[in-house]
Structure 1
Amino acid sequence: MSKKSTATETEGLTQLGHATSLPASPDQAVLERVPNPHPDQSYCIRFAAPEFTSLCPLTGQPDFAHLVIDYVPRKWIVESKSLKLYLGSFRNHGSFHEACTMDIGLRIKELLSPRWLRIGGYWYPRGGMPIDVFWQTGEPPKGVWIPEQGVPGYRGRG
């Protein structure tokens, strides 16, 4: 049975429960964390962002991706509203696919110090070629069910 949340666990949050504007850039976005309700257990948390967008840093044209973030927490879990706002802050941010994917993974790793983390960036084609970017912090912990990310490779029409 999970323990009941207390006000002290969420008192430092600045976005949850408040009207919050979309940050102008990833650097301005505030990514927040809350205590893991089960720090004594190893389990996987997944966030999927099937409509992630950013801008090409050279042309300013939009880029689209399906991001899947999996992690096994230690003491902290990411607060989901702050993650949504952080991911949304890339909408007007110019950065290559590889940089976006890695910046997100590294920022979450720095915030949480999870037991394990992986990110899959499944980018839709620009110039006729999809670019998929994958990164993880090491081997996943033994005994944790970590499903496949389930995003098929780009097949084009047909």
Structure 2
Amino acid sequence: MTETIYSGLKQLGEATDLPDSPETAELERVQNPQADIAYCVRFVAPEFTSLCPMTGQPDFAHLVIDYVPGDWLVESKSLKLYLGSFRNHGAFHEDCTISIARRLFAFLDPQWLRIGGYWYPRGGIPIDVFWQTGPLPEGVWIPDQGVAPYRGRG
């Protein structure tokens, strides 16, 4: 078989169990074949779940992750498994959202990254968490995240 930028991937195309925790989840990346131009990549996880660390009750969020890649692209199956690993992880909304952003930023070293964590209400109050690495890159179209303020989010 010929070596490609995809040859080192372990999870794609294989039966892979959901990791037990975000700490044990393995993110994978591939070389960016279009690294000579700046462009935006968006991942949307409208059914993200984690657990309240105090009550053990489920928390739900609509996550939007935008990044301008440098040399690396995150492999999407590994990202899905990583995000799914939060299903049984107890942490507050802010911790989940920022932990995801920081891990992706450290792993990919992108030109720019932002995350919007649009959390559904618990106790009648939605908590939305936003973070980005710095100013928007020049010359890259970064669309609005498209999630309305809470009014029965859909």
**Alignment TM class, shorter chain as reference:** over 0.9
Find the counterpart in structure 1 of residue 14 from structure 2.
18
Residue in 1 that maps onto 2:70: 74
Alpha-carbon distance, 1:92 to partner: 0.5
Shift of 1:107: 0.4
Q: Report the CA distance between 1:150 and its aligned residue.
A: 0.2
Q: TM-score, normalised by structure 2?
A: 0.96
Q: In 2, Cα distance between the equivalents of 1:148 and 1:8?
A: 34
- Mapping for residues 88-127 of structure 1, pairs under 5 Å: 88-127=84-123
Stretch moving more, 38-47 or 8-17: 8-17
Deviations 1:31-83 (A, max 9, x none): 11001110000000000000000000010000000000000000001000000
Note the residue ranges of structure 2 that are not aligned, 5 or more in a row: none
Letter in 1 for 2:105: K
In structure 2, distance between residues paired with 1:37 and 1:101: 28
Deviation at residue 19 of structure 1 after TM alignment: 0.6
* Identity across the alignment (%): 73
Amino acid at match of 2:45: A
| Superposed displacement of residue 156, structure 1 | 3.9
One-letter code aligned to 2:59: D
Tell me how many residue pairs correspond in the alignment: 152
Give the aligned partner of residue 150 of structure 2.
154
AA aligned to 1:21 is D
Residue 49 in structure 1 maps to residue 45 in structure 2: yes
- How large is the RMSD of aligned CA atoms in angstroms? 1.1
Pairing 1:129–2:109 present: no
Structure 1: gaps of 5 or more residues: 1-5
In 2, Cα distance between the equivalents of 1:146 and 1:16? 28
- The normalised TM-score by structure 1 is 0.94
Query: Alignment partner for residue 28 of structure 1, among 24, 29, 32?
Result: 24
Counterpart CA distance in 1 for 2:120 and 2:14 is 33
Structure 2 partner of 1:3: none
Q: How does 1:1-16 map to 2 (within 5 A)?
A: 7-16=3-12
